[in-house]
Amino acid sequence: MSFTTIDRVGPRLNRSQLFVPGVRPQLFEKAAASDADVICLDLEDSVAPADKPKARANIIEGLKTVNFGTKSVSVRINGLDTAWCYRDVIDIVEQAGERLDLIMIPKVGVAADVYAIDMLISQAEMAVGRVKKMKLEVIIESVLGLNNIEAIAGSSKRLESLHFGSADYAASAGMRTTNIGGPNKDYVVLTDKSASGARDTHWSDLWHYVTVRMVAAARAHGLRPIDGPFGDYSDAEGFLAQARRSAVLGCEGKWAIHPSQVSLANDVFTPPAEEVAAAEAILKAMQEGTEKGMGAVSLNGKLIDLASIRQAEVIVGQMNMIRARTKA
Ligand code: COA
Ligand code: MG
């Protein structure tokens, strides 16, 4: 292990993050009643320019009146290059009360973007004597953001997670695709001819590189990496395939842009029962070993080392949060 240790951010369930446009306050209660781990009330791209002040007022009202239970609640503010961003931060922090957990910053390009929002939040928090410290999540959705991802990941003590926004990223990179978070028929490998002359087409994952980089940057700073949207919400199979790919690569959750995607994301990002049982068995064996004064123990003929205990603790910790949420 390196002498540089990684401190993980505090635990938070983030298997599914349901987006709700700030202009549809009638959906706030429905979102609160859903099974989503995080509800993200949106002021950015699902709200037309003329509706920004109204959406902001709706969200402030919703944060004061809707019972979001044990869910985490986030507000996605407008980008730093807009006329709305500063007022989003000031009004939300000063007027929405203590319920809000997170502010999501879109289109982050450089670490100073996060610094600037951190400063505004800090001032507004002090001004109103807010007790709970607001946390931050940022979307990596531009080539600039990707180039500066290391610095962004280390930019603020408030930062908890990095999210990948495929649609804006594709636009920023000039990618020739319009499918939000899904595959593209032109991003394929055509195999050489077999003995019979046949050739196969293998679809590839055009989001692989960015996802891997985001996971590495996030994990190296103890943050949660979260996969972004899958636009075709009528395609559950497609959503599951994409979510499973990002779970394999290390993501901890995925956005839901329609309520039908919430349970799909929760399923994929809940550790499988056999994995949980194995992790619990490891911790139990280690506990028994420690009580007998043994530093290393064996389970089913295999040595359990400290790494497997750390892995097991992550899985059991995650599962305990899920059980607590399901009971609540
Ligand atoms: N949160 C909570 N409930 C929602 C919801 C959401 N985001 N979207 C839809 N619903 C509800 C509807 O009110 C409806 O409820 P009902 O059965 O009680 O009538 C039910 O879920 C089915 O909705 P449906 O008719 O299929 O969807 P819609 O046409 O009303 O809305 C979208 C579809 C995509 C416009 C809507 O889901 C949406 O705005 N999603 C979020 C988009 C967003 O914020 N994007 C920014 C991040 S990429
Ligand atoms: Mg975006």
| pLDDT tens-place string over residues 58-69 | 999 999 999 999
State residue 220's pLDDT score: 98
Q: Is the pLDDT of residue 185 over 80?
A: yes
Q: Is the pLDDT of residue 289 over 90?
A: no
> Taking the domains of the chain in order of start, what are their residue ranges?
16-270, 274-326
Which of 30, 137, 261 gets mutated to test ligand 1 (max ligand atoms within 8 A of its CB)? 30
Confidence of residue 292 (pLDDT cuts 50, 70, 90): confident
Write out the residues surrounding ion ligand 2, Cβ under 5 A: 141, 165, 168
Give the chain's mean pLDDT: 96
How far away, in angstroms, is 258 Cα from ligand 1 center?
5
Three-class SS state of 268 = helix
pLDDT digits (tens, 9 = 90+) for 221-235: 999 999 999 999 999
Residue 227 forms beta bridges with which residues? 164, 254
CATH number for domain 16-270, candidates 3.60.40.10, 3.40.605.10, 3.20.20.60, 3.10.20.310: 3.20.20.60
CB of 21 closer than 6 angstroms to any ligand 1 atom? yes
Confidence of residue 290 (pLDDT cuts 50, 70, 90): confident
- Tell me the C-alpha distance between 85 and 151, whole Å: 22
State residue 325's pLDDT score: 85
CB 115 within 8 A of CB 152: no
Q: Is the pLDDT of residue 167 over 80?
A: yes
CB of 124 closer than 6 angstroms to any ligand 1 atom? no
What pTM, to 2 d.p., does this model score?
A: 0.94
State residue 311's pLDDT score: 85
- Which ligand is closest in space to the CA of residue 46? 1
Which of 27, 46, 59 gets mutated to test ligand 1 (max ligand atoms within 8 A of its CB)? 27
- Tell me the C-alpha distance between 4 and 314, whole Å: 20
pLDDT digits (tens, 9 = 90+) for 19-63: 999 999 999 999 999 999 999 999 999 999 999 999 999 999 999
* Helices 236-249 & 208-220 angle (0-180, nearest 10): 50
**Which phi-psi region, left, alpha or beta, contains residue 174 (left: φ > 0; alpha: ψ -120 to 50)?**
left
